[in-house]
Structure 1
Amino acid sequence: MKVGVKLPEVTFHTRVRDESVGGPNPFRWEDKTTADYFAGKRVILFSLPGAFTPTCSTYQLPGYEKGYPEFKDLGIDEIYCMSVNDSFVMNKWAQSQELQNVKVIPDGSGEFTRKMGMLVDKDNLGFGMRSWRYAAVINDGVVEAWFEEPGLMDNCPDDPYGVSSPETVKEYLVEASKASAA
């Protein structure tokens, strides 16, 4: 359980749209830190094995995207999707998913994921090192609630999904909202 843990300080190498660059690919490099994403905000962070993969693209990411208005009503400022993929892949995946609300964070080298203790070997699928599937509610850079799929291991023969689903996180937020109102 990682509740109460402060997120590791890392620098993410991102590509951001900048029309001044011109051409067919108007993006520039922009480094962002853990603080840039998480300081002073209450956010949902969910991490998954890979962009464009079936569970991630069919259920998890679309579920968080569609549920965004409800999450905002429950006190969430942002929703971030992280994967051990580079910024080019994450941006293309966000575009293909037509994201309007969820923002993607590329953890290309896996540094953040490793420091969170969630980096696993997925050589059995030809992926190499990737993130174990999890979600968290992060409040000002500190883990408020943690939702980790069972069976954390290298080369897991299956891809558990449910604990980190948007429905599970929403249940937590609804209960937390009721508790704070009482």
Structure 2
Amino acid sequence: MTIQIGQSLPDIELSVVGEEIRPCRTGELFAGSRVVLFAVPGAFTPTCSSRHLPGYAQRYADFQETGVKVMCLAVNDAYVMQAWARAQQVPPGLLMLADGNASFTRALGLELDGSAFGMGLRARRFALYVEGGVVRLLRVEAPGELRVSSAEAMLAAIGG
């Protein structure tokens, strides 16, 4: 079942990727913060690399001005996420989260079976707005779309 507005995020360990890679529980990551978490089906994939992540990187300062943290999630290993962040020149502070086993993605009920495309289990393209670990807004894209989970759409939705 897909997580619903008003529910708390599951507390699961992910890898936080930057210059260093460190494990962190989602309960700790989201505690006491306002966060936009957006998920992509895969690092280095076409739409994710040409539009989704770059949109958040370009608008990162706008989120900062509203006091909202930004995090990007993908069902990839931490080293792939680290290489992708470097290739995309992700600004410091925009957290890249590796959900290598899709544990968090499955717990959210937002997994996608990409086996037909040789990708295995992945995250659906979505964005969540979270306050103190509680989901306040959920936007899930229709297959092949990038509209409701874009940086611009989420900024408009949260009043940024």
Structure having the higher Rg: 1
- The answer for unaligned runs of 5 or more in structure 1 is 18-26, 151-157, 178-182
The aligned counterpart of 1:31 is 23
Establish whether residue 12 from structure 1 lines up as the match of residue 4 from structure 2: no
Q: 1:81 aligns with which of 59, 63, 72?
A: 72
CA distance in 2, matches of 1:117, 1:35: 17
Residue 155 of structure 2 corresponds to residue 159 of structure 1: no
TM, length-normalised to structure 2: 0.91
> 3-state SS of the aligned residue for 2:158?
helix
1:27-176 correspondence runs (5 A): 27=20, 30-76=22-68, 78-101=69-92, 102-150=94-142, 159-174=144-159
Shift of 1:36: 2.5
Q: Return the offset for 1:16.
A: 5.6
Whole-Å separation in 1 of the counterparts to 2:127 and 2:141: 9
CA shift digits 1:55-109 (9 cap, x unpaired): 1111111111111111122231x10000000101001100110111421000000
Q: Distance in 2 between matches of 1:100 and 1:112?
A: 24
TM-score between both structures, scaled by the size of structure 1: 0.81
Structure 1 ranges of 4+ moved more than 4 A:
none
**Equivalent residue pairs, number:** 157
Q: Measure the CA separation in 2 of the matches of 1:167 and 1:35.
A: 27
Unpaired stretches in structure 2, ≥5 consecutive residues: none
| Letter of the structure 2 residue corresponding to residue 117 of structure 1 | G
Identity %: 36
**1:14 CA displacement:** 4.7
The 1-side partners of 2:147 and 2:104 are apart by: 23
User: Which of 96-105 and 125-134 deviates more?
Assistant: 96-105
Inter-CA distance 168–103: structure 2 relative to 1 (3 Å threshold): same
Amino acid at match of 1:124: A
Q: Deviations over 1:118-144 (max 9, x none)?
A: 111101111000000000111111111
Q: 1:13-69 deviations in whole A, cap 9, x for unaligned?
A: 45664xxxxxxxxx5x63210122111110110001000011111111111111111
Distance (Å, rounded) in 1 between the aligned partners of 2:47 and 2:136:
25
Helix, strand or coil at the partner of 2:104: helix
